[in-house]
């Protein structure tokens, strides 16, 4: 999977700017020292060993290391958590010593990892180093350009064997950072719904980088989907210095509602703190299926290949089925199937395919990456890839009819010459057709709609049956998006004049909290906005007439870090709780499954509308306002909003107030 990088990332030390804010003079930067890690249980530290572990273990804060059995590296790694500010220096304190063993610190930004040997733990028990990028830091992955691509995360602390094969014990104490931040963005607020002994509560946690406590207040506004206020509150708060969190909260209002949103705002003199939201979203019921439906529009990046075969994979597929997911994009990892040349092991993917099929979900397979034994970006490597691709396609010829060749070869996921991708696609096309003459080949798979790359690939003679694109964008201009899709559809029109299908195999919006110092590739959105985006994006794509299959990226959050955007692309949280976008998707599929696009309606400059016809002869119109809340009167039997709330007609007429950006389905 991957992302389109919309713009170059802000360099370290550049003040963060909210989406939509006008450019202002640079804000002065300040520096603070705060505790980044305490090695507490909540930080989720776990043991990482390269080679035989021997008696190495992590018990609480105690790390026992054992290099006597051949281990080359012994370390610990936490759950991903974004660091406040832009770190300039790291100071690591440990009780105990490990003389003779180089200590490595590993730091991550988006798709990139920095690593540096920062010294040894001698009797002093403390090591200090400058932060990346800079002298002594190595980097790998992602853009691989040595720059920061977003906020930093500590992802590991490791002892190398060095010249000493001994045993020992350490007790990590803390990691402190000296970090820069804009003077008016010293504070960060997070919010979540928490279930406790007294029931569910919305909880806000505030942190400050200032060196002294500061007085503030948290204002709460709790609303339903229609924007009606359910509760309000204001609470004074004294925030401690040095990044220590402090919490406050309010109870979830009584009542059975499909959606409740609580917005918290932190007011501190001289500080700009982004408002944050927390949600209560009701689950949807189980959905019965009647076999496979490859004609369905409704795909999703389930990535069942990220789960172990068994209960967790089954749960993901069932939960997707209940939302109406009928397609999934799945990575078929070459190295997982063929770790050694000629030794093919299908067992894991056989279970994956069976799990999807049991839940009525069709698969299109993504064939990307190199096996460990081959020579990447060479004629030999391409030959090995095509031999493996042919065998894979042949093995699954009864279950999978669509195969995508590589992921986002127009950016860093392809490290070879761009012209070589055309060679790969041309030869893979022939191999896939040999493995299954009925299979369709999905090609290009570009980050964004990269017309130049697509055109060049075609000019070099690379064939494909379906164009695949990842048209990520910071905001969604509905008419502009539809026009973009039609334009690329014309670009890949077949020589006989017929349109070639354009599948959207990734598209989505993240729901992360803004960082207080560095920007990220994706703009932050509320979960309410994400729910609006998912419905609008699918309906726009269908209205374009060229995109009959759309897959959101992705189904389940990739992690639990509320600030790192990559962890917040899903329509479910990491613990499978539905986000509003999950319920919006489920509502959309329940209304439109089996329907066909009739026509895009022109209701004036402020409205977007598309009419669908259903198998029973009825019609549904999806409509929303793009400029303001506005009244709408229409013929129909009922109106359904994205949370599934229904409003019946009176005397055959519906009288509604369309909320800006919120699609409504008018059922005739």
Percent of the chain with pLDDT over 90: 89
Give residue-wise pLDDT tens across range 522-573: 999 999 999 999 999 999 999 999 999 999 999 999 999 999 999 999 999 9
pLDDT, residue 7, reads 32
- Does residue 33 have a pLDDT over 90? yes
Distance separating alpha carbons of residues 354 and 336, to the nearest angstrom: 18
pLDDT, residue 14, reads 34
Give the homologous superfamily in CATH for domain 298-593.
Answer: Glycosidases (3.20.20.80)
Percent of the chain with pLDDT over 70: 96
| 599-667 and 187-271 share a CATH fold | yes
Distance separating alpha carbons of residues 352 and 346, to the nearest angstrom: 10
CATH class of 29-181: mainly beta
- Higher-pLDDT residue of 651 and 187 is 187
- Sign of the dihedral through C-alpha 207, 212, 213, 214: negative
pLDDT, residue 543, reads 96
pLDDT, residue 147, reads 83
- Does residue 319 have a pLDDT over 70? yes
Angle CA 275–277–282, to nearest 5: 165
Q: What is the pTM of this model?
A: 0.94
- What torsion do the CA atoms of 32, 234, 525, 28 make, to the nearest 10 degrees? -30
Please report the beta strands in 424-481, taking only residues with DSSP state E, as ranges in sequence order.
Answer: 440-447, 466-470
CB-based contact 411:5 (threshold 8 Å): yes
CA 150 to chain centre: 15
pLDDT, residue 196, reads 87
Structure tokens that stand for 622 in this block: 């999806």
CATH class of 187-271: mainly beta
DSSP 113-149: EEEEEEEE--TT-EEEEEPSSSTT-EEESTT-SSS--
Local confidence band at 3 (pLDDT 50, 70, 90 cut-offs): very low
8-12, 58-62, 552-556: which has the minimum mean pLDDT? Answer: 8-12
Please report, for the chain, the start and end positions of each structural domain, with discontinuous segments joined by +.
29-181, 187-271, 298-593, 599-667
CB-based contact 654:636 (threshold 8 Å): yes
pLDDT, residue 15, reads 36
CB-based contact 517:86 (threshold 8 Å): yes
Residues facing residue 223 across a β-bridge? 229, 261
**Mean pLDDT calculated for residue range 53-58:** 97
pLDDT, residue 8, reads 29
DSSP state of 572: B
Give residue-wise pLDDT tens across range 456-508: 999 999 999 999 999 999 999 999 999 999 999 999 999 999 999 999 999 99
pLDDT, residue 521, reads 86
Instruction: Write down the residue that tokens 């013929």 correspond to.
Output: 635
pLDDT, residue 341, reads 95
Cis peptide, bond prior to residue 496, ω within 30 of zero = no
Residue 236 exposed, middle or buried by CB count within 10 Å (0-12, 13-18, 19+): exposed
CB-based contact 3:472 (threshold 8 Å): yes
Local confidence band at 652 (pLDDT 50, 70, 90 cut-offs): confident
Give residue-wise pLDDT tens across range 404-421: 999 999 999 999 999 999
Distance separating alpha carbons of residues 476 and 480, to the nearest angstrom: 8
Distance separating alpha carbons of residues 576 and 555, to the nearest angstrom: 10
CA 411 to chain centre: 18
**Mean pLDDT calculated for residue range 132-137:** 92
Mean pLDDT of the chain: 93
pLDDT, residue 149, reads 87
Which overall architecture, per CATH, does domain 599-667 show? Sandwich (2.60)
Q: Which of 109, 227, 108, 99 is nearest to 164 (CA)?
A: 99
Looking at the chain, how many residues does it have?
A: 668
Quick one: the chain helix, strand, coil %, rounded to 5? 20, 35, 45
**Mean pLDDT calculated for residue range 293-319:** 96
- Does residue 327 have a pLDDT over 50? yes
CA 435 to each of CA 317, 387, 431, 485: distance values in angstroms, whole numbers, following the listed order: 27, 10, 6, 31
**Mean pLDDT calculated for residue range 641-650:** 95
pLDDT, residue 24, reads 61
Distance separating alpha carbons of residues 373 and 489, to the nearest angstrom: 38
CB-based contact 444:453 (threshold 8 Å): yes
Structure tokens that stand for 624 in this block: 């929303």
Instruction: Write down the residue that tokens 């509560």 correspond to.
Output: 201
**Mean pLDDT calculated for residue range 164-192:** 96
């Amino acid at each position: 999977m991957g992302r389109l990088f919309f713009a170059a990332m802000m360099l370290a030390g550049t003040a963060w700017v909210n989406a939509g804010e006008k450019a202002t003079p640079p804000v002065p930067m300040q520096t603070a020292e705060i505790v980044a890690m305490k090695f507490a249980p909540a930080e989720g530290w776990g043991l990482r060993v390269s080679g035989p572990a021997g008696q190495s273990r992590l018990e609480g804060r105690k790390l026992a290391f054992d290099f006597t059995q051949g281990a080359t590296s012994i370390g610990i790694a936490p759950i991903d958590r974004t660091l406040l500010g832009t770190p300039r220096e790291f100071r690591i304190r440990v009780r105990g010593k490990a003389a003779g063993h180089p200590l490595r610190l590993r730091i991550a930004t988006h798709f990139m990892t920095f690593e540096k040997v920062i010294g040894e733990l001698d009797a002093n028990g403390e090591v200090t180093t400058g932060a990346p990028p800079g002298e002594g830091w190595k980097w790998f992955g992602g853009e691989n350009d040595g720059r920061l691509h977003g906020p930093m995360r500590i992802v590991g602390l490791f002892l190398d064997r060095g010249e000493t094969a001994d045993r020992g014990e350490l007790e990590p104490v803390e990691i402190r950072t000296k970090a820069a931040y804009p003077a008016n963005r010293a504070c960060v607020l997070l919010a979540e719904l928490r279930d406790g002994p007294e029931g569910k509560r919305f909880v806000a946690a505030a942190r400050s980088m200032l060196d002294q406590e500061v007085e503030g207040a948290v204002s709460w506004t709790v609303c339903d989907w229609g924007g009606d206020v359910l509760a309000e509150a204001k609470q004074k708060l004294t925030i401690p210095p040095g990044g220590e969190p402090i919490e406050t909260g309010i109870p979830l209002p009584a009542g059975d509602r499909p959606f409740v949103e609580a917005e918290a705002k932190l007011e501190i003199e001289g500080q700009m703190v982004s408002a944050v939201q927390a949600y209560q979203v009701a689950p949807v019921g189980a959905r019965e299926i009647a076999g496979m439906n490859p004609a369905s529009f409704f795909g999703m990046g389930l990535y069942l290949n990220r789960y172990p075969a068994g209960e967790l994979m089954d749960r993901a597929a069932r939960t997707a089925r209940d939302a109406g997911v009928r397609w999934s994009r799945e990575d078929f990892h070459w190295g997982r199937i063929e770790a050694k040349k000629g030794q093919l092991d299908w067992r894991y993917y056989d279970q994956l395919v069976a799990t999807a099929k049991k839940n009525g979900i069709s698969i299109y397979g993504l064939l990307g990456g190199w096996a460990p034994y081959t020579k990447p970006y060479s004629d030999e490597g391409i030959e090995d890839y095509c031999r493996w691709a042919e065998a894979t396609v042949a093995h699954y010829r009864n279950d999978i009819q669509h195969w995508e060749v590589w992921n986002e070869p127009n950016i860093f996921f392809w490290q070879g010459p761009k012209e070589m991708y055309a060679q790969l696609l041309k030869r893979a096309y022939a191999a896939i057709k040999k493995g299954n003459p009925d299979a369709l080949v999905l090609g290009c798979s570009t980050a964004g709609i990269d017309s130049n790359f697509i055109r060049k690939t075609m000019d070099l003679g690379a064939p494909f049956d379906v164009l695949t694109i990842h048209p990520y964008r910071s905001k969604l201009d509905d008419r502009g998006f539809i026009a973009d899709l039609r334009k690329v559809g014309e670009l890949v029109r077949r020589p006989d004049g017929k349109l070639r299908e354009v599948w959207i195999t990734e598209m989505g919006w993240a729901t992360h909290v803004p960082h207080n110092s560095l920007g990220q590739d994706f703009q932050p959105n509320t979960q309410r906005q994400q729910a609006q985006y998912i419905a609008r994006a699918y309906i726009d794509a269908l209205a374009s007439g060229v995109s009959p299959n759309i897959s959101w990226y992705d189904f389940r959050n990739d992690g639990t870090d509320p600030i790192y955007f990559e962890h917040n692309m899903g329509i479910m949280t990491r613990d499978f709780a539905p986000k509003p976008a999950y319920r919006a998707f489920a509502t959309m599929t329940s209304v439109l499954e089996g329907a066909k696009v009739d026509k895009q309606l022109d209701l004036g400059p402020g409205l977007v509308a598309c009419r669908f016809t259903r198998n029973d002869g009825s019609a549904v119109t999806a409509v929303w306002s793009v400029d303001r809340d506005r009244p709408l009167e229409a013929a129909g039997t009922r109106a359904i909003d994205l949370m599934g709330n229904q409003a019946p007609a009176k005397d055959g007429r519906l009288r509604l107030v369309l909320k800006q950006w919120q699609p409504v389905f008018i059922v005739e």
